[in-house]
Amino acid sequence: METVVSGIRSTGKLHLGNYYGALKNFVKMQDEYNCFFFIADLHSLTTHPTPHGLKETVRNVVVEYLAAGLDPEKSTIYVQSDVPEVAELYLYMNMNAYMGELERSTAFKDKVRANPNNVNAGLLTYPVLMACDILIHHGTKVPVGKDQEQHLEMTRTFSNRFNRLYEVDYFKEAFAFTYADKLIKIPGLSGQGKMGKSNGEADCIYLSDAEEVIRKKIMRAVTDAGPTEQNQVKPEAVQNLFDLMNVVSSADTLQHFDGLYNKAEIRYGDFKKQLAEDMVTATSEVRARIQEISQDDAYIAKVLKMGAEKAQASAQKTMKEVREIIGLKKLY
């Protein structure tokens, strides 16, 4: 059975983009593959070296993973720092990663521009740590978006370089994977492209948002003055809201409001109210599960303990073999 590995940074709550773009696929994958899903608290330190409330944000992500349908009996759900073998492999792989290739990483360049006062070594070697998350479990399928494709290409570079250097056929190549022909893009409410925390809290509908919070966010979403002629092209901000409606509303509802827009008769207030109610309905089940699971500390601890033990067993086997390949053998 092939292995799927995927992680999410522990710097905040999960939003609809995470839910429809990844988590729903994860739920399907766990029935067909050997799945490792982790909370990347070590990765978060590259941009938040002194994080506030890290324990709580890790807990929130675990709760939301479970609420979205991940099953700890089917998948291995764990916290990255609970598997110290990842850091050990990260050390060895850094010895075979070159400064030039790391500095050319598009993500690194973007982070430098965004955070010029925090250009640390961890940020530079981020692709190596990501590679180790995958290689430690011999992952071959990695659910990632287009922004991570270069990192995945670098993972293949590092794994192939290790094999050549030590003249082995040990690490397999990992490739991007999704069930859909094209990843679902969930737009944000700010009119600035896909939903994401980088555009501010108001851009995201979080899985844990209360019903009234969802309604307020939708009603405040960016639009324009409305169409002035029939069949007018929708501006990006308005198209984003129609794209959201396409995800959470019925086909008849979408067709109704699309028709009103094309006839230049749409009233955004009515449109947003309908979208808000459909959004509340679409997220009601997962929201209820979040509230239920978040109150069960014993269950959360059990899930993480079981996940850590399963992930450690896999990682320890890999590291034993890696040390032998490198030649790090005890002399006593």
Catalytic residue among 185, 197, 216, 234: 197
Backbone angles phi and psi of 278, in degrees to 5: -70, -35
Beta bridge partners of 37: 6, 77
Between the two ends of the chain, the Cα-to-Cα distance in Å is: 37
| Token pair 């007018």: residue | 232
Catalytic residue among 185, 194, 216, 234: 194
Q: Is 146 one of the annotated active-site residues of the chain? A: no
Q: Is 141 one of the annotated active-site residues of the chain? A: no
Q: Which of 284, 277, 311, 201 is nearest to 19 (CA)?
A: 284
**Strand 141-142 and strand 175-176: pairing?**
parallel
In the chain, DSSP assigns E strands to 3-9, 34-40, 76-79, 141-142, 175-176
* 3-state secondary structure (DSSP) of residue 159: helix
Q: Which of 68, 74, 73 is nearest to 31 (CA)?
A: 74
CA 82 to each of CA 1, 147, 242, 300: distance values in angstroms, whole numbers, following the listed order = 25, 27, 42, 15
Question: Contact 25/37 with Cβ under 8 angstroms?
Answer: no
Which residues, at least 6 apart from 234, have a Cβ–Cβ distance to it below 8 Å? Answer: 242, 261
Q: Is 24 one of the annotated active-site residues of the chain? A: no
User: Which tokens in the block code for residue 167?
Assistant: 């003249």
Catalytic residue ranges: 111, 194, 197
